[in-house]
Each structure stands twice: as C-alpha cells, then as structure tokens.
Structure 1
Amino acid sequence: MRAVVLFFSLVFLVFTGTAQAQSIFPLSEKGGLHSAYVVPIGDSDRVDVQLIVLSGSYDDPEPSGTAHPTEHLAAYSADTTILRKPRERDITASTYNVSTVYTNSGVPSEIEMLLRLSRAVLDTPSLPEGFAESEIDIVQRETLLRERQSPLQWLKRIALQNLYRTLRGRADNTIADLPKLSLEKAYQFHKEHYVPSNVTLIVSGKIEPHKAEELVAGIFGDTEPSEVPQKPWLDHKPDPTLMSVERLKSARLERDTVQLAKFVGFEDRSTSIDMQGAFFIATSVLNERIS
C-alpha cells in the first residue's frame, strides 16, 4: 500500500522585486475585461493568447460537472464563428477547479486571428445541429477515462472533503453527477460566468506591448464591464478543528506521491475577484517558468 499526503503550506507570490524573471505589462485599453497583460518574449517565434475565465468546476451550482461541457461548447463555437468550421484548429482548453483556460497559439503573423478566436469564446455558443449534443457524450467518456486512469483525482477529493467539510470536495460525486450534464445547464453557465469582468487575457510571445494593446483594444473594445458571478467557495475556509494533514492509502498508485496545496498571501484587495485574478496569474507564470 502506498501513501498520499495532502498538506497545506503558506507561500507568497509577487510580481515585483528581484525574483521576477519576466516582464509583464498590464494593458489599460482592454474593454470590459477584468485584466489584460502582455508578456513579450524576444527569442520566441510564436504567440500565445490565453483567455482565462475565472470560473471552473467549483462554480458548478450543484456541483454537476457543467463547467467542462461549457468549455467544449465555447471552444468549438469560436472555431465555427471565426473559421467557419468546428474543430478547425487544435485549441488547447482546460477546466480547472477555479478557472477555465483557452489557449490559441500560432506564429506572430497570426496574432489578430488568435485574438479574434479568443474573443469569440465569450459569445453565446453557436454550433451546427447535433454537434453540441455529441459533446455531452464526449465529456462523459473523458470523465470516465480520467477517473479510471487517475486515482489521485478521487483521493484528492476525499482529502478535501475531510479537510474542508464542503461539497466542493465530495469524494464520489464525479461519476454519479454525469447524468446531470445537459446543454441547458452549459448554456446557462456560459451566460453567467463568461462575462467580461470575469475574464483575464494574457498575450505572450513575439509581440511588442504597444501592438498588443492596439489589437486588444480593437478586438475586445466592444466588451463592457459586467457584474461578476457569485463565488461562495472563495469565502470557504478550512475548519481549524479539522485535520490539517490528511494521509490516504491506495494500492492503485504507481509510486509514492506528495501533493502540495498552497494558500497564497496577498496585500489587501478590494474584491475577491481581484484576489483570484492575481492568484491565477502568479501561479500560472510560476508554473510555466518551472516547466
């Protein structure tokens, strides 16, 4: 039997100071987006446009897994809208606990198209007849495969359940919730969460900051500030009377694994969405540099 240890430690991530390895320029002309940044990388011959919706699986209302099919609908709808064909490009899209990330990549000359593809993610999904329905089946199969192949998925949920006493950490919900998936819920999730003020944009690669700002202003300039969806999980704290270290055993693990879950400390922010946005960008940049 092998052991999994889930524990919490306090870390501080900041953008300023001598430890910063990459210049990051905030864009002021960004329409109604929560924030937008450009990260110029001179020795790169590519450009990446990351559109980060600051809502993920924790924001599912029941939870029911709705964020995942919404990701599929929005990604392929963007292809349909801009390129006139779903699945025209291999867009990289991923649903996380607290965010959904869409990455469009290409050569520098494609930057305008990449930004338009990212902008289209925010529009109400529009797909050919029958295509959207098939994505529900695909999401169900993906989830079943992931659960079989990755025991860490459910071990982490058990640990979160024991540490937080919250439905967001339910141990056995993922498979049981699959029948709850529906297009109606996905479209509603998109309407509530894919709003400009709940979105961060990062343009990185071979591009000048002033050129990026000009393009972002032109393509996202029609977006307007909007009410941020409620996120009750942001205020959910660990119960101090519960265990801070959870040890779980499973014979399904290939090797001993240590999973770190970090709390990030920031100076006071006016809203929780500011805190969440700063957290995601800081950890994303850090993880990319580590990779």
Structure 2
Amino acid sequence: MSHTPPDLPGSAVTIGLSIDTVLRRTDKTLLARGSFRGEPATVKYLIDPDPFWAAKWRHELDVYEVFGDTTPPVRVPRLLHTDRDRLLVLEWVDASPLAVERYPQRELDTREVDAVLDCITALNEWTYPAVRFSPTFDYSDRLARYQAKGYLTEGQRELLDSLLARCDAPAQLNHGDPLASNILLLNAGRSDSDDEAETTAVLIDWEFTGLFLPGFDLAMLHTQVGAGTPLIRERIEAIVSETGIEAAFALNLAMVLTRELRLHHELPEDDPARRRCLPIIEAAWTSAGTRVQRLIAARSA
C-alpha cells in the first residue's frame, strides 16, 4: 500500500511520487522504495539539517548530474527527479548489497570479486569531466587532525607526511565510500556453474566522490571486504603493483585504517562491532605501518 512518510514533503504526491516501503530511516536520511510516475524508484530524503550533510547531499546530486551529462563506465542508478533541496528520486535497481556489515563475514566468490574490482577500476580509469570534480579532503590536514586526536603518534605522522611528499601520482577519481552496503550486485547468488550468468556491481551513495591519491577505493576494499575475503586482497595487491601506485596506496591504507580506528574506538565498549572489528583493524594497521616504513626506507636508499 502506497503512503507518504511524515518526513517527506506533502508535495511528493503532486509530482507523481508514491512510497511503498521504508527501507531505512536514520537521523540523517530516509531511504524508501516506491514509484515515480509509474517507474520503480528509490527515494532518498535528507532529514538532518546539519550543514555538513546538506553539503554532502548537494554533492551527491552534482555527481548524478555529471553522470547524466557524461555517461560513466560503470552502472549507476539514473536520477529521475530532485527538488534540489532534500529529495532525490533514483532509478530502482533490483539488486542485493554485497553485505550490510562494514566488515563482511561472508567470503566473496571469484565472480563477485571480479565484478567489484572491474567496477572500481573502471571508475578509477575514467576520463571524467575535469571541471566537475575536486579533492574530497586534504591529506596533510587530515593527518594533523588524527594526530591531534591521538590516533597517530608524532613519529607516525612524520613518516606519513614523508610518504605524502613523495607521492607524485596524478589525482584519481574515486567513489570515496565503497562500503559493502554501497555496492549492489546484479545476478548475485547464482551458481558458479552457471556459465551464462554475469555478475555486475552497481555503486550507490556518491556523497564522498572526488579526487584522491590513486588507490583510495582499493584501500577501503582491502581493509573491509578483504578482512573476510583474502582473494580480493591478493587481487588488489596485484593491481597496485601493476599500476605502480605503491606509495599512494600505502598512504591511503593508513588514512582508511586510522579513520576505522577512530570510528570503532568511539563505539561503546560492549558494542559487538567494536569487539569483532577492532582486532582486525589493529592487525591491519600494524601491517600498514610496516609497509610505510619499508617504502620510505627503499626510497631513501
């Protein structure tokens, strides 16, 4: 039965928008399934008036408009309607998320790994409209902030600043937030014996998309999805080696892992995600630190 949640403006009905199911509601956004002028649609409505999230909402709209003007090399939902304030109406994609957990416990099969990495690398290699994207964050500023909050020692920050100074690779377009829940799989769940089946990854939630040092998306996948799927880590390591982005990737790994430490330390001590994931993150951080030291030593030799 169609209805309009109280969060949505009353004008929703007048523009031909109806809601069938509220999929998720947080303090930030309402996500729902419905229809727009007879077409299945995803509805994303900004609830939080905080300027930070308002800016991210506008940025995501900008990204969808870029995709409308210049077809990207990956499958993305089409923008059907926006009020340019809080409401996004997108094409409904009948697909399943890779996982709902930040650190998926299910191990991906080879076909799923191929689909995810094919999608991410195609986006990273895209010749995008240069004037439409800018850096998502300043690496040096973020390192300083993490040190000030106690997540980096002075020595660790100095090492990472030194590595940053040596990263001369051109900026690369990255999704910026390829969480497992932001990657949908079309044809997911089919048997590997079905040679006719093709699994395609679809990226959603483009709030943090922009320019990064090469390999930021790969660093997130390596950290989160790779914790339960060794194959994707092996494949990412091969991509990093083949493309010669070792320094940038190592720095991105450190950035991602430091953020993960902060996010999980901020959870209550009895939170299951904290208890399960912190040991994974801490082990990965130790490995990343060794990697950074090795790279700096090699470049100083």
Q: Same fold (TM over 0.5)?
A: no
Q: TM-score, normalised by structure 1?
A: 0.27
Higher relative contact order (CA 8 A, sep 6+): 1
